[in-house]
Structure 1
Amino acid sequence: MRKRIYWLLPNLDSAKRTMDELLLARITERHIHFVAAEGADMTGLHAANFLQTSDLVQAAQTGMLIGAGIGAAAGVAVAYELASTAAPAAVAIAMAGIGAVLGTWASSMIGSSTPSRRLRRFEAALEKGEYLLIVDVPRTRVTEIEALLESNHPEGHFEGLEPNVPAFP
């Protein structure tokens, strides 16, 4: 299980040094992500992808739940109308599955084009030219990595800790 640390850095040089130090501290590149304003120089940094910068995952999860609920309700209504059906529960379950798939698909289309709600609070800093570091670290190393960042980068500042890192992004 990992925790996600958010850290704001003032410029590209500071971000590059931080990236190198995290790699030396044996944090793999796939767990280090940087976000900057559109068009900012990201040379030497591992840029965050759309899974970290959009609401795709959250939207898909919500769509799945809502779609399954609506599908199950529709399945119950259809099964009630078709009273002669031998397995009304199977109709409701099948309709819930279809609703979950359609809800996931529709919501993920919207979520992929929506900026992440988790990163909204950093918009002003990013527009000023700062770089946001998102690093996912094992729970046992959170204190160590925070201490490393604090001691080596007084120009940056800690912006929070997310207790549960999503499995995919």
Structure 2
Amino acid sequence: MKGLKRLYFLLPDVDTVRKIVDELLLVHIPYEHIHVLARAGTALEELPEAGIAQRTDLVPAVERGLAIGGTVGVLAGLLAVVFPPAGVVAAGGAVLFGALGGAGFGAWVSAMIGVSLPNSHLERFEDAMEQGMLLMMVDVPKAQIEDFEDMIRQHHPEADIEGTEPTIPAFP
């Protein structure tokens, strides 16, 4: 969805998280836009647990892989057009296929690496989570960020609002 920003909240316990999830669902935030992360061993029960796209550097890695692989593929295609292999006529298709092949290969390799790394955006929350706090990430429309922050502040003063992340990528 276009125009979403991710809000971060640190919360003291599972009951508070459950109440906030219910409130968000009542104001029509889709369940898929709510992500909860806690230290290992915390029973999240039916809460929307953060998936691989939220816990790892998968999405930024794929984006970098697409860009770098596509660029290298375009350069390889251009080289094939300028210096064609003996007996082969290379045309614009070489550039196109080079770009697509490079982008695909770059995204695949980067995804394999990114999925094994923790999400670099979440490093600032590691200490709080190790102390038992739960991290809630909610993707909300940009125009309503202040409304959601105010709602959480009013109903849950124990929530520690940690700010927002820039626009959420289209495919997490």
**Could you say which residue in structure 1 is the equivalent of 2:11?**
9
**Could you say which residue in structure 1 is the equivalent of 2:170?**
167
- What TM-score comes out, normalization by structure 2 length? 0.89
SS of residue paired to 1:137: strand
SS of residue paired to 1:3: strand
**Could you say which residue in structure 2 is the equivalent of 1:137?**
140
SS of residue paired to 1:119: helix
Is 1:110 matched up with 2:116? no
Residues 72 and 21 from structure 1, CA distance in 2 versus in 1: closer, same or farther, beyond 3 angstroms?
Answer: same
**Could you say which residue in structure 1 is the equivalent of 2:23?**
21
**Do 2:80 and 2:90's aligned partners in 1 also have CA atoms closer than 8 Å?**
no
SS of residue paired to 1:43: coil
Task: Render the CA deviation track for 1:127-162: whole Å, top value 9, x for unaligned.
Answer: 111011111112232222111100111111110112
How many residues are matched? 169
**Do 1:80 and 1:88's aligned partners in 2 also have CA atoms closer than 8 Å?**
no
- What TM-score comes out, normalization by structure 1 length? 0.90
The aligned runs of 1:12-161 (5 Å cut-off) are 12-82=14-84, 85-161=88-164
State the alpha-carbon separation in 2 of the partners of residues 93 and 23 from structure 1: 44
Which amino acid is the alignment partner of residue 23 of structure 1?
L
**Do 1:57 and 1:111's aligned partners in 2 also have CA atoms closer than 8 Å?**
yes
**Do 1:72 and 1:96's aligned partners in 2 also have CA atoms closer than 8 Å?**
yes
Which amino acid is the alignment partner of residue 145 of structure 2?
V
How far does residue 125 in structure 1 lie from its aligned partner after superposition? 0.8
Identity %: 40
How far does residue 6 in structure 1 lie from its aligned partner after superposition? 0.5
State the alpha-carbon separation in 2 of the partners of residues 82 and 8 from structure 1: 58
**Do 2:5 and 2:140's aligned partners in 1 also have CA atoms closer than 8 Å?**
yes
